[in-house]
Structure 1
């Protein structure tokens, strides 16, 4: 065979400078800088001005520390949604914000003080608050740059901060709205209290951890029992896992329908533990009669070694109601004073026989049930435990000692148990009770329930009318009047009129609002918005005067929260009131009230009074946090939720599904990922996860994201090369397109509908905002429909057909349509790459892919008949490829182009060259059974490499290539 010419230069190969290697870590910062220089966000606001608005209100992270994977996941998801709404043509602003007050920041400053051996209480409050503000400012700037590096587009020039003066003024204004409508009261009731941070905590500031506690059984001697006189002198036994509450005991509770028994007996112990039990080796350590729930008596015997004298019948048996009117005395009654007072038996519906003894000791200072039952019976809190967890200095028993969360102090050998043992009242004590217990999420220390004077927003007070009353001359509590809806009722109704994504999250928020107590909004800290109220010293009422409130708000606008702490309060009160008659409240607001009020100064403040956010998005923990505080704040002041829809996502776990922890060394750092692989890889991971549940991230997971990204990038690279010299003048109409192109338009229309169902609320789709479905649909289309199918078939047409050939023109017309659609579809997911792709084809200093709107896809392209036909053809194509693969593997043939295929099944191939679709030399149909493959006897064209009957010998030209070259 003679040497043949090289036809490579005559083939129309794709030409592009778009690199296969992404180099995102290096490129993305430059792209971000370009966006900042051109004011991408500001220009986009101008382009979308007057359009339908979509407001995603940003839940504020705390301004302390570098961002973690949870931050990255949350912000990227928000950005994807905002960009997708902008792509739909909406005006979708995004105002990022930060929560700047409260314990997390204050705790950091205190940590710095402790390192320097400084005492926070010795530093002027104004100086301490200034340091908190400076600390928050610093981390706002740091986190801002980190979020921008993620590709998050927003109003970074003017974010919202809860510590800005206008914000603090608005927060105070929202508080005063509650005060003016009577939805505020100060009361003493048990709240979750951190002895370490010395402040009340909200439920959202608490996390639960398993601990091992001391459990004790304590005997209270009965001194009166009018309905069961035989019990006088017997001992009611209580069980508790909080021994430190015994010094604050005021009563005992019984279950009215519970069956109780009284047994006389003794506790015995071995004199010599190395010898077996015998009368000579046993000594009595306690004897008497015990009163216990019948169902729990055997358990009591087992843990106390109590041996009853009456083995078969108790001395007394009766219902709890028989204990009505009974009185016991405290084990430490000999101390006199508080401890000498009688301890009444009270009926409690909450008493059960699930564990313990069926009798419960009541300390109204330290339990909600205790507080309610004792209060109803005239027993008030005594405030024995101080804010640091020690008993107050003048307390008769253990005064000045503690802390009550110290295991040694409350342990079986600690002073409480020792004193009870010496008093002959401790029947059992062990340090082995395992259970879940609340801890402060900031200090990680155990909390306690502690009754303190706090400010509350009531959940169950009708919204019409309230009169303040004085409880024992100590604390005002509300007396309800009127018959309007309660805050709980308004909130539950608002929940039903809000769209919750996923839908199952509705049950979570509803159950939390149904069961939550009154909202404790006060904190005993320094860094925050003060509860700017004046309380009358005689009546206990707080002052409600719109004129005074207006002066307070104006003062905050000028100087922020510091305006209150350094105020001329007489000037704020004005001439109608004497400051000497009023107490100035110096507690600060719960930071959840701060963040719950953000809708007022962000959404309404920027877009008009009455405007509600279209969407809130945060992690599932925010059903008890920001979602709920925002709901309650808005329902209390506006009668409706501040949002129309709420999306809940899960948490980011490590690659094996464990919670990330520095101590475990399994933290996956988003900053490191961006520095090594780029933000778009991280964004692909976020968009691909089923983020409604907890998600995993690790090396293997990120490798999968990188691989998916690489394939998509190569799809764009191919299209850019194939369209490098494309001109719209060569476009053809739908009617002029071959069937394969029309089928691909059908697939594009299907894809478009699937993607719209995710992003467009108007689509009424169950999959709204499920971007894992959105992302998978794009990647599957790019890989399966385009790269592995359409591009594979049509590369021969692109490379070898004449430039004017109608089929090649149709293919390039469709490629152009696909390019414009895909680059828009992926822009919310991988904004840096989408910009790079767009600029590669349409370079411009002033333009951006993110100015574009949703592609124009004609849904008349949907052709179900065509879909069915091509679905079968694609299936048969796969079968042919599978049949050819062994021949290729054995190198009998090098390419499917060299195969002749015989098929026993007739295909719906009218108007279709199936050999071209299968990329083989020849197809014979309806011959024999199954699929038969053999090497073709035809020769290969030297230009297109197809084996065709007209090619006389390998390397010569087929008819098509000959005509193209002649032209």
Structure 2
């Protein structure tokens, strides 16, 4: 139907008789203003949904929330993560489940400690001037404030959950539950205290686990150092090197000169070929005098000799002999400067040594490297020297370097390497044992919190054994690997990723030397060094922590806990637990059984293990793994049945977001400008399994997609105005076009249900968008527009269209409810003001009768012909042969097979033309556009032969005359 302004002159204006769509649902969303009102109207929607589903006996689905950290406004990564979780929660409700989702927060740890330290410094107070109790109280208050801020921000996104019973790792009952989980490891023998090198942050003054480390490019000094050979053990062959060749030196290479004072051995590779080389001459024309001299005798790997000599500016050399390093002993390169370095340095065989780089020998400082420690222990050595203190400075007992900083921990240079490297190199020069030095840019471990470099440092810490046999007969590592195999991963590649990490990880380091956290609440026998195993002591500890939180452990006297045990015989452990252990225990108190002492006051059921964990892909080494190990160690399996991971959000150019770059996207800004549904639709449209991008242009594309969805729903609302159940017709009466649309609904229904069940949200929204733009807007609505506007209301064709549009509306508003809940709620409430919340619905059952493969095949052929006709009509419009499609009467020629698809159809209706001539017998489809040579109906603007056939309405077609007569009679009555 054309616009009313094209109406020919007549004695009557028929515009009032046309049944145009009517709806108060506006074209513009106005989401920033409408969404808060919808949230308020929802009230306790989550609680209402749970009650309703439980009353129906619905199956229970449990999504366990990985806790965000309570220290700032939410960012786009938070928005992505929580929105994906909300998709899961809402879609499971939509599929008929009862859904348990308790939002939680991670509250302990360094970022909050630092923020509180800053606050004290601003007031002129140092941390050590503040009592531990006051400091922890300030941390608790700070975290509590941010929990409330983030809770409101998540709620504004439309996130459903049990907000009234949120969990937090700092709640007293929660801290008690974490201590109880820790006691399970203590009492099962999986816990031990070991002195070994761990990654240590001098800036944060604590040990760090692998999950707390990230790698950044860093430029390190490199040194080639000579260790003079002093002799050999009895195990060395008779042709003793020291007796046959005077004064040789083994050469090592390292990027950490500061560890040379901690050297106790040199490792070599038993399969590597080594040689003794004599320096013949040095490079000429140098601006400095090299440290090597002609006549020097050096032992290096044959494969690396040329590289070593190039670094040392050695021009020519001679290989004197092959060397077997086993059994050799060297002097420490600083021995000549201090008797404190007068010990012998043995050669140790090590499988970790290669001849890919360096010299083929590895300087071994057992207090500052995992491989160094292991090879030192493997050769029967037990004492590991302590060289560097918690602040990153050499201990006072270290000769030549006492007090020098390896890393700066105060002032403007915090996090920078201190003077230790330079001082060690100067002393090596003084001792005559520095062969060469340089600089190397390489990947270096940094703390992910402070972004400062870390060091390996020997220190007593508490560990959970990965390879001790449990009651099950398997080790914790084996139990965890079995649990991984039993878990579904989305995407599937996540299984191999976490499996490789667990296969190779060291024992679980769980102790930290900080103030704000859950304590390792236990006593250790001073004589045996073993933890105290006494159920009564443990019970008193748990009761105290449950009543007063972690402060109770730190502030109450030991006798309160020990009972009949003599406090003088026991050491109270004041370390706190790694925050990953904290959050790794959340399943123990956030899932069933729920204890009101943990802060839970509701009566909504859960179950263990959870059906799903959903976090970023970095959590394979973080939260997924800590939960895996905690659950495996205490319960014999992972606390989850499935794991879903998403990538990270980048800017539009694929670059990492950074405040300094100014390329961040604030979810609050997007919501304020466009609404939460736009942000949610962006999440639905991206492939969350990969890194995704966001920015102004991408958001504009999202707005365009939203507009298509909104306009589709708006059209349906207008077309269904005053739809009455009496209008509904049975499937058997449906015209072919309606049967095709119902088939598409049946097809989509299966796709949507499966996609939601498999967490493929992109495979919900994209097919639905294509359906709206293609099958509905470009085909169905366009074809049926004439019938909707101009057929009399009781006409079968119009009733069929409205019946089908009702089915479409009921399903679109359900399918899209998890993704764009605000818009679908507005649409549902517009049509059914008393119909309750759209979010409470389940997907309507779609009759199997609607499946109609034959009709789908027919319309595929029809649309291929329609495409050719549309192109011809558009060309005719451009050439001004016609004004609109209703001016045309095309002649369509094609094969009998192609045109047979139109049997039983009104081809002119399909083409939106006034008429058509269909001629079979050709090969390819061809179209000729002719003008329709008939009068123009004053109401529908179709040019058809029966215009004027009704004397009462001489300017109308027979169909329109009948409709107007009906309209006139209804108005008269």
Q: Shared fold by TM > 0.5?
A: yes
Aligned mates of 2:191, 2:470 — CA distance in 1: 11
Cα contact 1:250–1:379 (8 A) shared by 2: no
* Structure 1 residue aligned with 2:970: none
Aligned mates of 1:710, 1:244 — CA distance in 2: 62
* Structure 2 residue aligned with 1:151: 158
Q: Describe how 1:785-934 pairs up with structure 2 within 5 A.
A: 785-844=775-834, 847-905=836-894, 906=896, 907=899, 908-926=901-919, 930-934=926-930
* Structure 2 residue aligned with 1:418: 426
1:754 and 2:751 correspond: yes
The structural deviation recorded for 1:589 is 0.2
* CA offset digits 1:608-663 (Å, max 9, x no partner): 79621110000110000001000000000000110011001001100110000011
1:602 and 2:590 correspond: yes
The structural deviation recorded for 1:888 is 1.3
Aligned mates of 1:421, 1:856 — CA distance in 2: 83
Q: Describe how 1:2-13 pairs up with structure 2 within 5 A.
A: 3-13=10-20
1:461 and 2:483 correspond: no
Aligned mates of 2:68, 2:352 — CA distance in 1: 39
Aligned mates of 1:952, 1:741 — CA distance in 2: 31
Aligned mates of 1:287, 1:5 — CA distance in 2: 118
Find 2:299's aligned residue among 286, 291, 295: 291
1:329 and 2:331 correspond: yes
What's the TM-score, normalizing by structure 2?
A: 0.92
Aligned mates of 1:338, 1:286 — CA distance in 2: 30
Secondary structure of residue in 2 paired with 1:54: strand
1:109 and 2:116 correspond: yes
Q: Describe how 1:496-511 pairs up with structure 2 within 5 A.
A: 496-511=485-500
Aligned mates of 2:290, 2:32 — CA distance in 1: 78
* Structure 2 residue aligned with 1:191: 198
Cα contact 2:290–2:312 (8 A) shared by 1: no
* CA offset digits 1:420-448 (Å, max 9, x no partner): 11110111112x20111111111110011
Find 1:205's aligned residue among 194, 209, 212: 212
* Structure 1 residue aligned with 2:627: 630
Q: Describe how 1:531-570 pairs up with structure 2 within 5 A.
A: 531-570=520-559
Aligned mates of 1:883, 1:793 — CA distance in 2: 17
* Structure 2 residue aligned with 1:939: 935
* Structure 1 residue aligned with 2:601: none
1:67 and 2:81 correspond: no
Cα distance change on mapping 1:409 and 1:46 into 2, 3 Å:
closer
Cα distance change on mapping 1:746 and 1:88 into 2, 3 Å:
same
Cα contact 2:291–2:436 (8 A) shared by 1: no
* CA offset digits 1:176-222 (Å, max 9, x no partner): 01111111111011111111001011111111111111010000001
Cα distance change on mapping 1:878 and 1:411 into 2, 3 Å:
farther
The structural deviation recorded for 1:705 is 0.6
Cα contact 1:940–1:955 (8 A) shared by 2: no
Aligned mates of 1:284, 1:824 — CA distance in 2: 80
Secondary structure of residue in 2 paired with 1:421: helix
Cα distance change on mapping 1:554 and 1:287 into 2, 3 Å:
farther
The structural deviation recorded for 1:383 is 1.4
* Structure 2 residue aligned with 1:475: none
Q: Give unpaired runs (5+ residues) of structure 1.
A: 275-280, 465-482, 761-767
Cα distance change on mapping 1:366 and 1:791 into 2, 3 Å:
same
* Structure 2 residue aligned with 1:616: 613
Cα contact 2:814–2:843 (8 A) shared by 1: yes
Aligned mates of 2:818, 2:290 — CA distance in 1: 79
* Structure 1 residue aligned with 2:597: none
1:375 and 2:346 correspond: no
Q: Describe how 1:685-834 pairs up with structure 2 within 5 A.
A: 685-760=682-757, 768-834=758-824
Q: Describe how 1:134-173 pairs up with structure 2 within 5 A.
A: 134-173=141-180
Secondary structure of residue in 1 paired with 2:216: strand
The structural deviation recorded for 1:778 is 1.2
Cα contact 1:269–1:285 (8 A) shared by 2: no
* Structure 2 residue aligned with 1:265: 279
Aligned mates of 1:327, 1:121 — CA distance in 2: 47
Cα distance change on mapping 1:568 and 1:79 into 2, 3 Å:
same
Q: Describe how 1:319-398 pairs up with structure 2 within 5 A.
A: 322-377=324-379, 378-398=381-401
* Structure 2 residue aligned with 1:301: 309
Cα contact 2:336–2:431 (8 A) shared by 1: no
**Number of aligned pairs?**
924
Find 1:253's aligned residue among 267, 273, 277: 267
Find 1:675's aligned residue among 669, 672, 676: 672
Cα distance change on mapping 1:931 and 1:540 into 2, 3 Å:
same
Cα contact 2:194–2:461 (8 A) shared by 1: yes
Q: Bigger shift: 62-71 or 835-844?
A: 835-844
Cα distance change on mapping 1:97 and 1:286 into 2, 3 Å:
farther
Aligned mates of 1:945, 1:80 — CA distance in 2: 47
* Structure 1 residue aligned with 2:436: 428
Secondary structure of residue in 1 paired with 2:163: coil
The structural deviation recorded for 1:116 is 4.2
Secondary structure of residue in 2 paired with 1:92: strand
Cα distance change on mapping 1:26 and 1:609 into 2, 3 Å:
closer
Cα contact 2:311–2:437 (8 A) shared by 1: no
Aligned mates of 2:954, 2:885 — CA distance in 1: 18
The structural deviation recorded for 1:316 is 2.0
Aligned mates of 2:607, 2:97 — CA distance in 1: 20
The structural deviation recorded for 1:818 is 1.0
Cα contact 2:613–2:644 (8 A) shared by 1: yes
Cα distance change on mapping 1:112 and 1:232 into 2, 3 Å:
farther
Q: Give unpaired runs (5+ residues) of structure 2.
A: 1-7, 409-414, 595-603, 967-973
* Structure 1 residue aligned with 2:226: 219
Cα contact 1:293–1:353 (8 A) shared by 2: yes
Cα contact 1:715–1:787 (8 A) shared by 2: yes
Cα contact 1:409–1:416 (8 A) shared by 2: no
* Structure 2 residue aligned with 1:476: none
* Structure 2 residue aligned with 1:471: none
* Structure 2 residue aligned with 1:521: 510
Secondary structure of residue in 1 paired with 2:226: strand
* Structure 2 residue aligned with 1:317: 322
Cα distance change on mapping 1:609 and 1:574 into 2, 3 Å:
farther
* Structure 2 residue aligned with 1:653: 650
Aligned mates of 1:581, 1:650 — CA distance in 2: 51
Secondary structure of residue in 1 paired with 2:457: strand
Cα contact 1:60–1:98 (8 A) shared by 2: yes
Cα distance change on mapping 1:857 and 1:633 into 2, 3 Å:
same
Aligned mates of 2:179, 2:932 — CA distance in 1: 85
Q: Bigger shift: 393-402 or 245-254?
A: 393-402
Cα distance change on mapping 1:562 and 1:273 into 2, 3 Å:
closer
Cα contact 1:214–1:411 (8 A) shared by 2: no
Aligned mates of 1:191, 1:834 — CA distance in 2: 54
Aligned mates of 1:114, 1:933 — CA distance in 2: 83
* CA offset digits 1:810-837 (Å, max 9, x no partner): 1111111111111011110011111111
Secondary structure of residue in 2 paired with 1:253: strand
